[in-house]
Amino acid sequence: MRVFVPFDTRDPKSRLSSVLDSSEREQFAHVMLGDVLDVLQRAGHDPTVLATAPLDCSCSVRVDERPLSKAVNDILDESTLPIGVVMADLPLLTVDSVEHLVDQSGDVVIAPGLGGGTNCLVIRTPEFRVDYHGASFLDHRRQATKAGVDISVVDSFRLAVDIDDPEDLLELLLHGDNDAAGWLSNAGFSVDESGEQPTLSLSGDRQ
Amino acid sequence: MRVFVPFDTRDPKSRLSSVLDSSEREQFAHVMLGDVLDVLQRAGHDPTVLATAPLDCSCSVRVDERPLSKAVNDILDESTLPIGVVMADLPLLTVDSVEHLVDQSGDVVIAPGLGGGTNCLVIRTPEFRVDYHGASFLDHRRQATKAGVDISVVDSFRLAVDIDDPEDLLELLLHGDNDAAGWLSNAGFSVDESGEQPTLSLSGDRQ
């Protein structure tokens, strides 16, 4: 299946700015993107990066600088369905979790993100339109109901954890074993297990 | 399968004290417990509440006021395996997610919680001991490796979301359709969808 992976090249992962500087955030975002593309390919899919600017990448790249929903809805108009849309900041993605997503029946399959976003979609009907603004999980579910489209929700922790805020990095360190987790360890992040609950620990020169 | 559901009757859900008073937290904890017991029964299992004090409950109750790990390890010593241990603060639990947990192969099956805890266990071997203190997901995995026990990790968002902090309530409102979600709505909580991202909203008299 053709899977589009949105990637915003402008100030990526800005909510991590309290723990990573601008150049590090750019590197980290690219490493996560690489992990996602690698998993999608190993799961037998054909990823295309949907980027806001040209990008050096081994996969095909489609450049569209408009807001994401517009860009994806245009793709829906011109594509043979099904297509997938999988976010670039899902470094816990595995081949199994991608298969779990794609194996679900339904005109639309959605994997919610923590906090009410939409991390992954499989779209099998032209009746569906995306809207990534705001509480997109609720919006997508309501929109599907309104359009009489059968939507199924995937229950997956690995698809739900998107990396937005520093606390998300803890999940990556706890459960990741790919390049993004390695990058983060090399950058001086680790899990502090000394307290009642594990916390994110930064090496001395980062504090 | 016999499934133990730990429930601490002493100051339950203390980390919700910024949004719920003591009596509300007690009520809410009991409603979540009821949801969990109901789902386990509908999934065909036999739940026993493992409580720190006697409790009025339609299920069987085992009282043990010692730390949780000690109480569960004693149960492991005296039980016919397998047994399950499922936390009482998992109001997104569904019959499907319980079946997904129990269907996994492995001497031990673990469902991690957000933040590195252990939300559910299925234990099929007497070689395994629980340790719920600290980063219990990592501890349990290491302990299994050390004991030569085959452990499998369940990928489930519904099993991962335990209700500890106010931000967890947002997940319950977004994805729950059981009594705990209803209780929370009736108590004046809702999802504010007006911003860039959904947030937890409290009715006027709670602010």
Strand partners, A111: A120
Residues B125, A61: Cα–Cα separation, whole Å: 50
Eight-state DSSP code of residue B1: -
Q: Least CB-CB distance to A198: which of B94, B134, B159?
A: B134
**Mind listing the pLDDT tens digit for each residue in B82-137?**
999 999 999 999 999 999 999 999 999 999 999 999 999 999 999 999 999 888 99
Would you say B31 and B179 are in contact if contact means Cβ atoms under 8 Å apart? Answer: yes
Q: Least CB-CB distance to A138: which of B158, B171, B193?
A: B193
Q: What is the mean pLDDT of residues A65-94?
A: 97
pLDDT mean across residues, chain B? 96
Would you say B95 and B42 are in contact if contact means Cβ atoms under 8 Å apart? Answer: yes
Q: Among candidates A137, A157, A143, A158, which has minimal Cα distance to A91?
A: A158
**Mind listing the pLDDT tens digit for each residue in B10-34?**
999 999 999 999 999 999 999 999 9
Angstrom CA distances, B4 to B11, B61, B83, B195, stand at: 20, 9, 8, 41
What confidence score (pLDDT) does residue A203 get? 84
Sequence length of chain B is 207
Q: Least CB-CB distance to A134: which of B116, B156, B198?
A: B198
Full DSSP string of A101-119: HHH--SSEEEEEPTTS-EE
Best to test chain A binding among B155, B162, B171, B193 (most A CBs inside 10 Å): B155
What confidence score (pLDDT) does residue A31 get? 97
ipTM confidence: 0.95
Q: Per the CB < 8 Å rule, is B135 touching A198?
A: yes
Whose tokens are 């939300």? That residue is B119
Residues B47, B86: Cα–Cα separation, whole Å: 9
Strand partners, A153: A110
What confidence score (pLDDT) does residue B207 get? 63
| Half-sphere exposure in the Cβ direction for B111 (13 Å, CA) | 29
- Interior CA angle at B135 toward B134 and B139, to 5°? 110
The pLDDT of residue A205 is above 80: no
Eight-state DSSP code of residue B165: S
Chain A positions touching chain B (beta carbons under 8 Å): 94, 96-97, 100, 112, 114-117, 133-135, 137-138, 155-160, 167, 170-171, 174-175, 191, 193-198
Interface size A-B, in CB pairs within 8 Å, comes to 88
Q: Among candidates A75, A161, A171, A61, which has minimal Cα distance to A123?
A: A75
Residue A120 CB: number of other CB atoms within 10 A?
A: 25
What percentage of chain B has pLDDT greater than the value 90? 93
What confidence score (pLDDT) does residue A134 get? 85
The pLDDT of residue A79 is above 90: yes
Locate the chain A residue with the closest alpha carbon to B113: A157
Q: Per the CB < 8 Å rule, is B134 touching A195?
A: yes
Residues A12, B202: Cα–Cα separation, whole Å: 32
Query: The pTM is what?
Result: 0.96
**Mind listing the pLDDT tens digit for each residue in A155-199?**
999 999 999 999 999 999 999 999 999 999 999 999 999 998 999
Rounded to 10 degrees, the C-alpha dihedral A96/B82/B76/B78 comes to 180
Q: What is the mean pLDDT of residues A108-134?
A: 96
Q: Per the CB < 8 Å rule, is A134 touching B158?
A: no
Question: Hey, what amino acid is at B96?
Answer: D
Q: Among candidates A120, A121, A193, which has minimal Cα distance to A161?
A: A120
Would you say A32 and A162 are in contact if contact means Cβ atoms under 8 Å apart? Answer: no
Give residue A96's Cα distance to chain centre: 16
Residue A22 CB: number of other CB atoms within 10 A?
A: 12
Best to test chain B binding among A114, A141, A172, A177 (most B CBs inside 10 Å): A114
Question: Hey, what amino acid is at B61?
Answer: V
A68 pLDDT band, cuts 50/70/90, is very high
Residues B16, B55: Cα–Cα separation, whole Å: 22
Q: Among candidates B1, B3, B82, B5, which has minimal Cα distance to B50?
A: B5
Tokens representing residue A76 in the block:
């829906």
Residues B83, B89: Cα–Cα separation, whole Å: 19
What confidence score (pLDDT) does residue A207 get? 63
Tokens representing residue A26 in the block:
């750019």
Min Cα–Cα distance to chain A from B175, Å: 9
